[in-house]
């Protein structure tokens, strides 16, 4: 029987004062030409760091905030399926950006009930759990989101790494930080976290 060498790994984390969760800025794309699309476009702009205070609706001089736009869309438009779930996600992202976590979580959970196939709803819910230090719930939602292949998987892996590390699962956390760094090589946060780990290799032989 062929013999082969193998390596085992032991990880030792050098803790820093805090690890900041990646923001939930994964908006769900809606291009229906209506208010749902406007909600998406405003959410996307804010998630990119642009300042969007309000819009002017046709025939009105009243400024409507991004959250109000999304709320009007949810309440006044006959949205169903993907569009409704996506708009709930997008409003949840806006709530999260204002640290209104309870409202954000409700939108993500309502959206999942409408269409559980949208990866971003699970990823954003998981990030909200991480922000609230509800680590196990965060891991569960982020894992589901990763399985559904989100558009920005690196943020899901990064946030799951934080939760796993807090749960004492240091080895799994290391590999999630590593995956986030591989997926987004220009993103500094995962690389910074990896510098806190010392990896020791122990050689061995197995059949």
The residue behind tokens 């204002």 is: 98
- pLDDT at position 94 is 93
- pLDDT at position 29 is 77
Q: Measure the CA–CA gap between 55 and 122, rounded to whole angstroms.
A: 29
Of 95, 91, 149, 158, which is closest to residue 120 (Cα–Cα)? Answer: 149
What domains sit in the chain, N to C, each tagged with a CATH number?
1-21+119-207 (1.25.40.10), 26-115 (no CATH)
Is-contact 199 13, C-beta < 8 A? no
- pLDDT at position 127 is 94
For residue 63, give the H/E element and its range: strand 63-64
- pLDDT at position 207 is 45
Q: Measure the CA–CA gap between 30 and 34, rounded to whole angstroms.
A: 9
- pLDDT at position 155 is 93
Q: Please list the pLDDT of the chain residue by residue as tens digits (207 residues).
A: 333 333 344 544 444 434 555 555 567 777 766 888 888 888 888 887 776 655 555 555 457 889 999 999 999 878 899 999 999 999 999 999 999 999 999 999 999 999 999 999 999 999 999 999 999 999 999 999 999 999 999 999 999 999 999 999 999 999 999 999 999 999 999 999 999 988 876 654 444
Of 200, 149, 193, which is closest to residue 14 (Cα–Cα)? Answer: 193
- pLDDT at position 8 is 43
Q: Measure the CA–CA gap between 181 and 78, rounded to whole angstroms.
A: 41
- pLDDT at position 55 is 55
- pLDDT at position 7 is 39
């Amino acid at each position: 029987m062929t013999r082969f060498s193998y390596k085992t790994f032991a990880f030792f984390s050098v803790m820093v004062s805090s690890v900041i969760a990646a923001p939930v800025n994964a908006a769900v794309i809606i291009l229906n030409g209506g208010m749902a699309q406007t909600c998406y476009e405003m959410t996307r702009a804010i998630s990119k760091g642009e300042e969007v205070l309000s819009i002017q609706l046709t025939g009105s001089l009243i400024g409507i905030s991004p959250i109000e736009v999304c709320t009007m869309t949810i309440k006044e438009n006959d949205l169903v399926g993907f569009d409704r779930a996506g708009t709930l996600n997008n409003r949840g992202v806006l709530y999260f950006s204002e640290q209104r976590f309870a409202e954000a979580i409700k939108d993500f959970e309502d959206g999942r009930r409408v269409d559980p196939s949208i990866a971003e709803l699970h990823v954003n819910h998981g990030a909200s759990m991480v922000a609230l230090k509800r680590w196990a719930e965060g891991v569960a939602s982020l894992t589901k989101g990763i399985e559904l292949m989100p558009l920005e998987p690196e943020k899901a892996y990064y946030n799951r790494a934080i939760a796993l590390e807090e749960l004492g699962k240091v080895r799994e956390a290391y590999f999630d930080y590593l995956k986030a760094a591989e997926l987004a090589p220009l993103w500094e946060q995962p690389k910074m976290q990896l510098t806190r780990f010392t990896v020791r290799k122990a050689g061995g032989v197995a059949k």
